Amino acid sequence: MEFVKIDGSFGEGGGQIVRTALTLSCITRKPITLEKIRQKRKKPGLKPQHLTAIKILQKIFNAKVEGDKIGSTSFKFIPGSIRDINIREDVGTAGSISLILQVLIPISSICQKKVELFIKGGTDVLWSPTMDYTRYVLKEVYARMGINVSMELIKRGYYPKGGGEVKLEIFPSQIKSISLVKRNTKKIKLFCSFSKLPEHMIQEKCKKIESELIEKKFDVESIIKKEDTNDSGASILITSIDDNSVIGVDSIYDKKINEFDLDLDKIIENELGIDENLADMLVLPASLTNDMTVFTVSKISRHLETNLYVASKFTKCKYGIGKIQGGFEVRIEGVLDASI
């Protein structure tokens, strides 16, 4: 048996390379050996959310796994045959649900199987997309690429207690390429959710952000919602979406400084096609189309470089990056394998 060998310390050297390698292993049916996992982090090796993703994929694909334990810096994953399945999983505490969904959604839809998933864990935690970013930004792009998914947020879960609940249905899909190159709208939506924090304080923070956007001639619609959760917390998402662009910026409320750590320039100044976080999430599905995906982005992140590297190792897709005014244009020529 020939394994695809992946160096887990490549590029950003974090959990992204684990998620992307797992996803492409399942889609292409190629076994993987992943080594030096999260070697560049203070605490190297697999974390609970990685193990949950592995556990779920093991069930869906009847996979064989070696080295699947917390702190493991290497593991082998051998995918078997996929089947329709209904799964219930608990990441534990506040492990990121959003990062797990980045793995599951493309796999199930591309492999033409229906998966129903009920998952508990963290919905809005540090170092991962908020659940609103996943629901309103990533899901929007997935839909344009033909990926059909239903996502219901039952309960939010903030750090450290977690306890968030999400119900997911993923349907067989025919994936296609897209082009996102130029923002043509001044309309913006602001979504904010909070729990067990003073309402007047959150309203004040949102009003200040809204005023900054209006000052820059944006038309802002705000949706602020108080929700019941196990722990106190808040998250915010700002989106700008039109036919040629999908841009989102999100943040978790920092209770130590009583502020959202939000870089508004990333949406005010961005007149390109997508935001830098979305860029790395598009690589995987784009590599599996039968056409050319094109997008423009302000920055080439280490996550994007990592995903381009891993995708090319599995699919032999071709990609190119060119400098343009205000950022970069990325082209990915997908390699659709009829056997997948």
The catalytic residues are 303
- Return the bridge partners of 72, or none: none
Residue 78, H or E segment:
strand 75-78
Q: What is the DSSP letter of 112?
A: T
Contact 334, 290 (CB under 8 A): yes
User: Which residue from 64, 51, 145, 41 is spatially nearest to 96, judged by alpha carbons?
Assistant: 51
Q: In whole angstroms, what is the distance from residue 313 CA to residue 318 CA? A: 10
Please give the structure tokens belonging to residue 12.
Answer: 């950003």
CA 120 to chain centroid: 17
- Return the bridge partners of 252, or none: 235
Phi, psi (rounded to 5 degrees) for 299? -145, 145
